[in-house]
Structure 1
Amino acid sequence: MKINHIILYTDKSTTGGFRGRTSGPSLSKLSKKMDKFVVAPEIKVAVEQLEGDQVRRIQDRNREVLAIAPAMPLKLIKPFRGTESTRPESQPLWNIKAIGADTSPYQGAGVRICILDTGIDRSHPAFAGIRITEKDFTGEGNGDTEGHGTHCAGVAFGRDVSGYRIGVAREADNVLIGKVLGKNAGGSDMLVNAVQWAVKEGANIISMSLGMDFPGFVEELELAGMHKEAAISFALEGYRKNVLLFESLADLVTTQAHAEASQPVTIIAAAGNESARPDYKIAVSPPAVSRQIISVGALGWNGKGLYVAPFSNTGVMLSGPGMDILSAEANSTGLISLNGTSMATPHVAGIAAMWAEKLMKKNQFHTNMLHSNLMVSCDDELLSGEMSEDYGSGMIKAPVN
């Protein structure tokens, strides 16, 4: 059975090109460092219908092929409706205060944030005055009929609405929105192409509140005629290969930045909402589980301290506010409260933009330095009684000086 596969390779491939749909920024460049030339490979992607033996032949014969994985369906990391009655009369909102965004001198100025999600309702007052570059990867056109991407964008960089500060990096004014999820969902091939696009367009921070749909992939394979047990086995292998593919992609993005072939880029992703504490916990799901991608868990506030959200997956790198988060509601001018690691992730994206702004001003902005500052600044002081594997390094914090 032939199935669409994503082929990730570099610009030195000698195969004469792949037959499938290709994309990728021309980012190859030589940069002289310490009297040595460093070559940054160009990231290229092809999508082809392949069978098992063809996959093996391509990998065996082409050293420049870094990873091959079946294109798996994507799904929203579905949030839960928050409690509107918790909306306070005074500022700041609990989440803005918890991460120190209200007292930081940095607001993400000059940093380019990219949200890869369901699109954006750019007419919402939360985005007034912001330069927004949109690209649709779903074939459905720009905009946001679901509302998830609009809410996430509002958290990351939205302006004040109805007297509420909802956005973290409020001076990020030149942003990217990639629509990778629509009415007919999306695929991991779309996501790979969207990451490439974001890098090419100058993104410094890429935020993804989505996951791979394992049950949906099994169902697709069965509908295509594969026996149930074989479909489960193939989907498991595809799941593993997609994790490795996104690790290779993130590694290449980091390599390009280190060689000054692109700007520094940090990729952040939601850990997932599949846990149900205290009954059981689920591990971080892909793409967040891939190495070089910052996985984000969700925390709440009970009036006395922080707690791990009952749905938040375990094994995260760090955490952000994910309970009762007010942000922009699509197709309206108002706000809506949602819970989820989807909401925690753009908090981290906004804080990363703040740290990037600080590092830019000190001429110290590169990926490793940003990662180090994000991790070291996390705080677990108000998380007594919780297990560190559930919140990672702790609550992310904005730079203070």
Structure 2
Amino acid sequence: MIDPPAGLRPPRRPAAPTTGRQVVVFAEDDDADVDWSAAGITDVADSRDFTTGRVPAQTLREAGATVFARLGIAVVSAAPDQVGALRAARRPVLSVSPELVHHVLREDPSAYVRGYRDGVTDLAGRLGGSGGGGEEVPAPPVFEDTPVATWGVQAVQATTSPFTGAGIRVAVLDTGLDLAHPDFAGRTVVAESFVTGVTSAQDGHGHGTHCVGTACGPRVPPAGPRYGIASEAEVYVGKVLSDEGSGDDGGILAGIDWAVANGCAVVSMSLGADVAEAHPPYSAAGRRALQQGSLIVAAAGNNADRENGEFGFVGAPANSVEILAVGALDSRLTTAWFSARSLPVPGGEVDVAGPGVDVLSAWPMPERYNTISGTSMATPHVAGLAALWAQATGRRGYELWATLTQASRRLAEPSVDVGSGLVLAPQEGAGTA
């Protein structure tokens, strides 16, 4: 086997933390019951037993097994050898994986300042022709925040789109939302917590409020510029990460199952674990969500350090083939220094890109607004745009995915960094195409 070039090799990292539970993926289109007794497992909960589609976090924590029926996945409190007995059960088992712990994806602000400075210097040199012969590369457009709209909202052309996401349900699975934020007063917001011991989806971290704001913030905020994309979408907030910014597969899968049960056309997840291999439960969840009309959009990851020659890799869950992975761009539409690069393996690709550097959005009161960076910030831009395209075309699932990639603006950046390019908002007449 030939080793990949150094820039494509993921840096050595400690193994992702696990919880001791197992995540079991069952075969599709199989109505056979699972013989849980074969593995000595009792007290089994099923998401279909809850009218709202939400499995309470305490139930997930206390049950011997929790089945997310719409996804064909179960989280089991048992040892791997005990779960192995399920492979002989009547319903085929496709995979058994350790339950991972995921975190919000935030890059180091101090490192960003250093990286951006060096990146601008390098870009200036290349545009000035100091990097070698050939035609001079035209300077890309430079976007800036204005009193009317943030640079990201302008770059994706949301300011000129007649679509608002009206009638489209968007789920943001993160640290929750400041439920009393004045910018969301009067909006349709359905909020649930999937964190053990936490009954409210109130955001005590800030990351979730920021992501909800970018995806679905108001068209004309009471104060400051427009920072949100799908201003009239119905907002579904799933608190799957604690106020400390971490959560496990069980809570995240519970959030996905809930979002699918409630007909959310778009599910935005700015979270992950730095593992280069695709995590089987998310491949199954992404595929089965798509089949039911829900597109999962996830952050590619912030594990690159491009100024020092490290390009990182797309982490879980974004590295599943069936989940749309989003890379980050700066205001010059160049790849953010921290944004993960594609690996040459199925699912390891960056699919599209969005604005992810110095992004202004909502923040828990009393701050109200904050500016931060990361592929976490690029992801809700794309999620909001997906809602606009869903409204404009009526497309869902696989068709919506294809539409987003076809509606992307090609960039001078390598496709391993930005995929199909910068996703753009639908304009007048898009729904008739």
Quick check: TM above 0.5? yes
2:229 is the counterpart of 1:168: yes
For the 8 Å contact 1:136–1:178, the answer to whether it is kept is: yes
Q: SS of the residue aligned with 1:207?
A: strand
2:232 is equivalent to residue 196 of structure 1? no
Structure 1 111/92 Cα, relative in aligned 2: closer, same or farther at 3 Å?
same
The Cα shift of 1:369 comes to 1.8
Name whichever of 110-119 and 181-190 sits farther off. Answer: 181-190
Q: SS at the partner of 1:170?
A: coil
Q: 1:3 maps to which residue?
A: 20
Aligned to 2:377: 343
Q: C-alpha separation between the residues in 2 aligned to 1:311 and 1:62?
A: 46
What RMSD over aligned residues (CA atoms) do the two structures have, in Å?
2.4
Q: Alignment partner of 1:164: what SS?
A: coil
* Counterpart position of 1:148: 207
Give the match for residue 72 of structure 1. 100
Structure 2 counterparts to residues 102-181 of structure 1, below 5 A: 102-139=159-196, 140-142=198-200, 143-159=202-218, 160-172=221-233, 174-181=234-241
Cα distance change, pair 326–183 in 1 and its aligned pair in 2 (3 A): closer
Amino acid across the alignment from 2:152: N
Letter of the structure 2 residue corresponding to residue 78 of structure 1: R
Q: Once the two structures are superposed, what CA deviation does each residue of 1:92-127 show, in whole Å capped at 9, x if it has no partner?
A: 321111101000111111000000000100211221
Give the distance between the partners of 1:390 and 1:182, measured in 2 at CA. Answer: 30
Secondary structure at the counterpart of residue 290 of structure 2: helix
C-alpha displacement at 1:59, in angstroms?
2.2
Q: 2:283 aligns with which of 234, 247, 250?
A: 247
Q: Which amino acid aligns with 1:180?
A: V
CA drift at 1:283 = 1.0
Q: How does 1:80-95 map to 2 (within 5 A)?
A: 80-81=108-109, 88-95=145-152
Counterpart Cα distance in 2 of 1:369 and 1:163 = 35
CA contact (8 A) 1:12 1:64 kept: no
Equivalences for residues 1-400 of structure 1 within 5 A: 3-9=20-26, 12-17=31-36, 19=42, 21-25=44-48, 42-81=70-109, 88-139=145-196, 140-142=198-200, 143-159=202-218, 160-172=221-233, 174-183=234-243, 185-212=246-273, 240=277, 243-255=279-291, 257=292, 264-278=293-307, 279-302=309-332, 306-315=333-342, 316-332=350-366, 334-360=368-394, 365-380=395-410, 383-384=411-412, 386-400=413-427
Secondary structure, counterpart of 1:314 in structure 2: coil
Deviation string for 1:46-76 (max 9, x for gaps)?
3323333333331243444343221111111
Question: CA separation in 2, counterparts of 1:183 and 1:354?
Answer: 30
TM-superposed CA distance for 1:89, in Å, is 4.6
Count of residues paired in the alignment: 342
In the alignment, the residues of structure 2 paired with residue 243 and residue 372 of structure 1 have an alpha-carbon distance, to the nearest angstrom, of 23
Q: Is the 8 A contact 1:3 1:51 kept in 2?
A: yes
- Note if contact 2:35-2:86 (Cα within 8 Å) is conserved in structure 1: no
CA contact (8 A) 1:75 1:213 kept: no
Give the letter aligned to residue 168 of structure 1.
I
Deviation at 1:20, TM superposition (A): 5.5
Structure-2 change in CA distance of 1:161 and 1:283 (3 Å): farther
Q: Which amino acid aligns with 1:119?
A: G
- Aligned-partner residue type, residue 147 of structure 2: S
- Displacement of 1:42 in angstroms is 4.4
State the secondary structure of the residue aligned to 1:72.
Answer: strand
Matched letter for residue 249 of structure 1:
A
* Contact 2:70/2:257, CA 8 A, preserved across alignment: no
Which deviates further from its counterpart, 283-292 or 52-61? 52-61
Please give the alpha-carbon distance, in whole angstroms, between the structure 1 residues aligned to 2:417 and 2:321. Answer: 18
Bigger fraction of residues in strand? 1
Secondary structure, in 3 states, of the residue corresponding to 1:135?
Answer: strand
CA distance in 2, matches of 1:102, 1:129: 22
Tell me the amino acid that sits aligned with residue 12 of structure 1. Answer: D
CA shift in 2, pair 1:42/1:347, >3 Å: closer
Give distance in 1, aligned partners of 2:382 and 2:43: 35
Per-residue CA deviations over 1:141-197 (Å, capped at 9, x if unaligned) read 32111000000000001112414101001111x211111111462101111111001
- Sequence identity (%): 34
- 2-structure distance, mates of 1:163, 1:49: 48
Q: CA deviation at 1:249?
A: 1.7
Any stretches of 5+ residues in structure 2 without a counterpart?
1-18, 51-68, 114-142, 343-349, 429-433
- Whether the 8 Å contact between 1:108 and 1:170 is mirrored in structure 2 is yes
SS in structure 1 opposite 2:319? coil
Cα deviation, residue 322, structure 1:
0.2
Q: Which runs of 5+ in 1 are unaligned?
A: 28-40, 215-238, 258-263
Q: Structure 1 CA distance, aligned partners of 2:261 and 2:228?
A: 25
**Aligned partners of 1:124 and 1:333 also within 8 Å:** no
| Structure with more relative contact order (C-alpha pairs < 8 Å, separation 6 or more) | 1
Cα distance in 1 between the residues matched to 2:232 and 2:243: 32
One-letter identity of the residue aligned with 2:321: R
**In structure 2, what residue type is equivalent to 1:8?**
V
State the one-letter code of the partner of 1:393: S
Q: CA deviation at 1:44?
A: 4.4
